[in-house]
Homo-oligomer: A and B are copies of this chain.
């Protein structure tokens, strides 16, 4: 019986300070839960590490959803197999992607947990939370629809070596843009240019960022795909071309903030340059998977859209894996193989 097995679960035991998760998250052992009517018990195989999760570790009044209550398990996207189904549309052994927990086992309710049955075609399960998952859809829609990328545009992306950023840059290139990526090490910058086809890459830790962007984009930036907010957003705003668009995909710089964070100091430029700033995020895109994934899969198969996957083995190492998103230690998608 599954329910006699031990379930290891990462629970939020304190609000983290900054990006120190050591005291805040604890791996606890408990009884594996039993699914109720309409629920699935999922054996987790892959945990997707997503920076947005950080937001819910703090209590914020401006969040999309309330902060995770202390004591609750950490919620995140997982890939796993249905071990027990009490829902008519799912059977034991189905491969699914859903909102689950950072744990050995998750309970999922198909509608509320965004459960999607997976075709099992992929060699690497992690692709279902990478190129063919929420990051892929977000990169695609952020560039193509929200950002309305046009051939000839100068395209700038922050966290360009990250999962969404790296794909956004490659998709912008496919749309005919000149692409500039911002990353935090020279190695990442070199990788963006040599492996992912970026036209230029800037190490934002070296020298004045606004000046560096100005050099790389002398005619201004038409589309800025922002994953981080904060000072980087200000440096980008300074360099926007008139009528430029800012697609706000993430505000990493704010996720760990305590209390209100001032908006960009260059906010006036919204008016002066007649900019459009638009926020968007993946929970709005799940229903579009059938339309977007064939495009992304084709690009991947053609070798024009690549996503390095950085895999950590063992649920017990989840916090180490998660921290990489904030210390800039990763390139591409970070996952944990349970």
Contacts and interface: CB of A to CB of B under 8 A. Distances in A.
A238 B264 CA distance: 17
What's the number of copies of this chain in the assembled complex? Answer: 2
A292 B251 CA distance: 39
A271 B277 contact: no
A276 interface: yes
A62 B250 contact: no
A260 interface: yes
A130 to B, nearest CB: 22
Contacts of A87: none
A263 interface: yes
10 contacts: A62-B266, A251-B268, A263-B265, A271-B279, A274-B279, A274-B280, A275-B278, A275-B279, A276-B279, A277-B278
Categorize the interface residue count of chain A: 20 to 34
A254 interface: yes
A279 B284 contact: no
Contacts of A249: 271
Contact of A254 (B62, B268, B276, B284): B268
Contacts of A277: 270, 276-278
A168 interface: no
A3 interface: no
A231 to B, nearest CB: 12
A276 B276 contact: yes
A260 B265 contact: yes
Contacts of A284: 274
A266 B259 CA distance: 11
A71 to B, nearest CB: 24
